[in-house]
Amino acid sequence: EAQVTQNPRYLITVTGKKLTVTCSQNMNHEYMSWYRQDPGLGLRQIYYSMNVEVTDKGDVPEGYKVSRKEKRNFPLILESPSPNQTSLYFCASSPDRARLTQPQHFGDGTRLSIL
Amino acid sequence: AQKVTQAQTEISVVEKEDVTLDCVYETRDTTYYLFWYKQPPSGELVFLIRRNSFDEQNEISGRYSWNFQKSTSSFNFTITASQVVDSAVYFCALSEASMNTGFQKLVFGTGTRLLVSP
């Protein structure tokens, strides 16, 4: 089954404790992306990756890091989480590269609470 | 700047009513793509439709229909005879080119919460 898998689905942690949210897709997609969803703000892009070792900032990259060492995986790293990063996070992938013509496949979301 | 506006924050209807969710976008691209996604209470994002800028035909899928009008930069979504299961947040999105790299990214509206009561 084609899917995007995020882990963990839920996490409560404390300020400053490094965490990683994993994202893996089994569709051999080149494009992957991270979004955060906040009330009243919709989904905003954090980082995206066009291919292995090719990443770029989205609209709200501050406080986040990503890596793309393999095509299937695109982890989101919070080196020193802060309460303003409490949010619902989505990973997505797409078969497209330069032009997003196809719908993105989304993971089920990760709800992070930073105390 | 390219953006997507969903002015309706929340809409409440009674089952069987028709409801239209508005989406207005801004872009300088001549070729672009628009999308609608549904987010039910369970939280996942479900793709509903994609429309490219060269195809202005309206589309109907069961009780769902979409009205794309380039002249008014709108891509509205209508649910006919709404049902309780239609209760969800609906997002409109536009693909745009990143100013940094020229690569495309998806820009979402802020969403419209639809509440359908029995």
Q: Give Rg (Cα) of chain A.
A: 13
> In this complex, do A42 and B109 lie within 8 Å of one another by their Cβ atoms?
yes
What are the structure tokens assigned to A47, written together?
């980082």
Cβ contacts (< 8 Å) between B108 and chain A: which residues? 35, 42-44
SS3 B86: helix
pLDDT digits (tens, 9 = 90+) for A40-93: 899 999 999 988 998 989 889 999 999 999 999 999 999 999 999 999 999 999
Q: Is the pLDDT reported for residue B1 higher than 70?
A: no
Confidence band of B106 (pLDDT split at 50, 70, 90): confident
CB A26 within 8 A of CB A91: no
CB B19 within 8 A of CB B11: yes
Residue A27 at interface with chain B, using a CB cutoff of 8 Å: no
pLDDT digits (tens, 9 = 90+) for B88-101: 999 999 987 665 55
Nearest CA in chain A to B42: A108
- What is the mean predicted confidence (pLDDT) over B28-33? 83
pLDDT of residue B58: 83
pLDDT of residue B29: 81
Q: Is the dihedral of CA A31, A34, A37, A40 positive or negative?
A: negative
Confidence band of B31 (pLDDT split at 50, 70, 90): confident
CB A6 within 8 A of CB A91: yes
Judged on CB neighbours under 10 Å (0-12, 13-18, 19+), B93 is buried
* Percentage of the residues of chain B whose pLDDT score is greater than 70: 92
pLDDT of residue B115: 97
CB B16 within 8 A of CB B82: yes
d(CA A72, CA B66): 34
CA distance B90 to chain A (A): 10
Residue A95 at interface with chain B, using a CB cutoff of 8 Å: no
pLDDT of residue A32: 92
pLDDT digits (tens, 9 = 90+) for B41-70: 999 999 999 888 888 888 888 999 999 999
Residue whose tokens read 């990503």: A66
Nearest to A58 among B33, B35, B105 (CB): B105
- What is the mean predicted confidence (pLDDT) over A27-47? 93
By C-alpha distance, which of A8, A59, A109 is closest to B37?
A109
pLDDT of residue A6: 97
- What is the mean predicted confidence (pLDDT) over B7-28? 96
Helices (H) and strands (E) in chain A, counts: 0, 11
Give Cα separations from A3 to A70, A73, A91 (angstroms): 16, 12, 11
CB A52 within 8 A of CB A33: no
Confidence band of B111 (pLDDT split at 50, 70, 90): very high
